[in-house]
Structures are given as structure tokens and as C-alpha cells.
Amino acid sequence: MSSLWIDSEKKNYVVHPHKFNLWLFIIATTMIFGGLTSAYVVARSFISPEKRVMFDLPPILWQNTLIIIFSSVTVQYAVWASKRNEPKKAVWALVLTLLLGLGFLFGQLIGWQDMVASGLPLVNHARSDSSVSFFYVFTGLHGAHIFGTLFFLILALSKTALNAFKMNRRTQTIELVAIFWHFLGALWIYLFAFLLLTQ
């Protein structure tokens, strides 16, 4: 793996292999969520209007939307700080992004609790409309992507704090994390808007 990295460092790529692989993963993730939202629309079309379950989205989701937007600002600041060779500022920006990411996941759990408290659990065999279950799938799968990205964010944070990166590699690593984090922020805004428009 190290030799592969060294080789890639010596060559001039139009798009770095790591960034190219990341964009492939972003495309695949987009297709998954696009398929899920399409399935939601199709499934809902088979339910007569009087049997459709209409519910208010948990209020915490509005706060979570602001949190994830602000976290995109902090992670981008980490990229800018790294490019200016200011690793300490990059570390603090990554720490703040990490805390915001954890806050977002905690808010999603509160949203789930609100749904259950409202009598809308993940599974209810008495419901013919699957829109509630789709809500859990959308938010749960998105949350799983956030959780996974936090692992890479922590890795970038710890190595930056320990000065274990060369400047170019540090910036590239933080930038890769930031790209996917921005994507997850945009994906959440899409999902939130989709849920608002369908309820």
C-alpha cells in the first residue's frame, strides 16, 4: 500500500486516484439514495389518499440541518488552514467538525425517539403505507454514512495533531474528507426537502 502511495506521489495525475475513487463512491451513493427516493414515490402511488400516513417531521431535524450546514463551513476552513500551512487551526476546525457531526447524529436519535413517542415506530404491521419506514431508512442510512466519515475525520485529525503528515498529504487527506462531508451535507438537504414536500 505504501509503495502504491509513493508511486502515485511521483506521477502527475489529472485527477488523483484517491479523489477519483472518492467520486466513484459519491456517484454510487447518489444512485442508492436516488433509487430509494424513487421507490418511496412509487410505493406511495399505490396507496389510496385516505390510507396514506401523513406525519410532521421531528422539529430537531431543522436544527440538524443548520448543524450540518455549519459543519461544512468548519471542515472547509480546515482545508484552507492546511493549505496555508496552519495545522493548529486545521486541528481546531476538525475538532469542531467532529463535535458538530456527533451532535447531528445525536439529533437524529432524538428525532427517532420523537417518531416512536408519536406512535410511529419503524415497523407497524397495521400500516399499509410504508412512508414512515422509509423515513427511518433515509435518516438511518444517511446517519451511517456520517458515522463512517467521522472515522476518517478522526484519523485526519489525529495525524494532523501529531504532525504525522507531510503538508501535501495532510492537505489532500483533509480535502478528501471535506469533499465527502460536503456531499453528505448536500444529500441531507435533499432528503430533508424531499421529506418535507412529501408530507
pLDDT tens profile 100-159: 999 999 999 999 999 999 888 888 766 666 888 899 999 999 999 999 999 999 999 998
Instruction: Report the Cα–Cα distance between both ends of the chain, in Å, rounded.
Output: 48
**Residue 82, Cβ neighbours under 10 Å: how many?**
27
pLDDT in tens, 5-22: 434 445 566 667 878 899
Q: How many domains does the chain have?
A: 1
Pull the grid cell for residue 167.
503538508
> How does DSSP classify residue 50?
G
Which residues constitute the domain of residue 181?
2-198
| Helix (H) / strand (E) containing 143 | helix 131-161
* Whole-angstrom distance, CA of residue 163 vs CA of residue 91: 10
DSSP string, 71-124: HHHHHHHHHHHHHTT-HHHHHHHHHHHHHHHHHHHHHHHHHHHHHHHTT--S--
CATH code of the domain containing 184: 1.20.120.80
pTM: 0.87
Distance, CA of 149 to CA of 63 (rounded, Å): 20
